[in-house]
Amino acid sequence: MELIRGIHNLRQEHAGCVLTIGNFDGVHRGHQAVLTKLREQAELLSLPSCVMVFEPQPLEFFAPGKAPARLSRLRDKYEDIAALGIDRMLCVKFDRAFSKLTAEQFIEQILLRQLDVRFLVIGDDFRFGAHRLGDFALLAEAGKKHGFQVLSTDTLLHDQQRVSSTLLREALKDGRLDDVAHMLGHSYVISGRVAHGAKLGRTIGFPTANIHLKRLIAPLQGVFAVQIEINGIRHPGVANIGFRPTVNGTRSQLEVHIFDFEEDLYGKQLQIRICHKLRDEQKFPSFTALQTQITADALHAREWLATHQC
């Protein structure tokens, strides 16, 4: 899938496409339904399919201190969307100038002049333009005037609730991983590059791969049984996601202990599949008490992973 970084990198050959627009954070089953419709319409019209996403996401721009936890990094989003057979991703820099575009300016300058959209697929809650004044009705009206079609996809429900990134965040926060897997179509995965840590785990027999979470807020916290994918092979393990209060940690971090594994992983990209929540993160009175609990967590994780699919 082609990645176009910024509107300024659009070229003449990018004109004429079937387009969808949104954050697509987490690429859940509701998103997947939109993207499937996008691919089908592109195939019918013999045109490229294109997804427009924003970086940062709009709420991260308008209220960085209050923005919700990211479910997926841009890299994860790219890979998930590419796996659905989409041709292009246009990553738009969401800045002050872009945020001030009216809905009408967005249609005229971006959709028509630069992308020459022939067919637009949107979610039923889609809003756009300054003050979010643009909606399906405005797009449908513009489509009639300029010769492109607009399709609004139906809401996907889970337990009588609309599948959304917000609902997914709530399920992750509550540790309802079965609900998470249902909404995603697979277990939740966090990916990242292994960085050097304090190496405290080595002193108690539990060396960990440390991944600094680039999100300002992690979408879930606690201790989990996990599967870690390394070079296409999955390995069982146990992970802690949080601030490590016993050692006075100050930023959210993911630490993974891989069972029966001794290779050097520094600098490598890992995919951590979150399988089962063992407990909440907590502060222990001593490092010895922490070591005792980690031993119990590892045993519990081994037992769960030995008897369950993830």
Judge whether residue 261 has pLDDT over 80: yes
Q: What percent of the chain has a predicted confidence (pLDDT) above 90?
A: 66
134: three-class secondary structure by DSSP:
strand
| Helix extents (H) in 72-123 | 74-82, 96-99, 103-105
Predicted local confidence at residue 205, as pLDDT: 57
Torsion angle (degrees, nearest 10) of CA 270, 228, 32, 107: -20
Class of domain 2-158: alpha beta
Which pair of tokens denotes residue 241? 């996601």
Span 169-202, pLDDT tens digits? 999 999 999 999 999 999 999 998 888 765 554 5
pLDDT at 274: 97
Residue 87 has pLDDT above 80, yes or no: yes
How far is it, in rounded angstroms, from Cα 61 to Cα 47?
32
pLDDT score of 38: 96
User: Measured in whole angstroms, how far is the alpha carbon of residue 58 from the centre of its chain?
Assistant: 15
Task: State the chain's mean pLDDT as an integer.
Answer: 89
Confidence of residue 247 (pLDDT cuts 50, 70, 90): low
Every domain range in the chain assigned CATH 3.40.50.620: 2-158
Fold of 187-307: Elongation Factor Tu (Ef-tu); domain 3 (2.40.30)
Pairing outcome for strands 149-153 and 117-123: parallel
CA angle 39, 42, 45 (to 5 degrees): 150
**pLDDT tens digits, one per residue of 194-235:** 887 655 545 445 788 888 776 656 789 999 999 999 888 999
**Does the N-terminal peptide bond of residue 56 adopt cis geometry, omega within 30 degrees of 0?**
yes
Q: Assess contact for 226 and 302: CB atoms under 8 A.
A: no
Q: Is the dihedral of CA 138, 144, 149, 151 positive or negative?
A: positive
The DSSP code sequence of 210-249 is EEE--SSS-S--EEEEEEEEETTEEEEEEEEEE--GGGT-
pLDDT over 70 at 99, yes or no: yes
Alpha-carbon gap, residue 132 to 97, rounded angstroms: 15
Lowest mean pLDDT among 106-110, 148-152, 301-305: 148-152
Residue 89: pLDDT over 80: yes
Is the pLDDT at 251 greater than 80, yes or no?
A: no
Which pTM value belongs to this model? 0.88
In tens, the pLDDT along 20-48 reads 999 999 999 999 999 999 999 999 999 99
Q: Per-residue pLDDT tens for 115-126?
A: 999 999 988 778
Hey, is 253 helix, strand or coil? strand
CA distance 137 to 296: 57
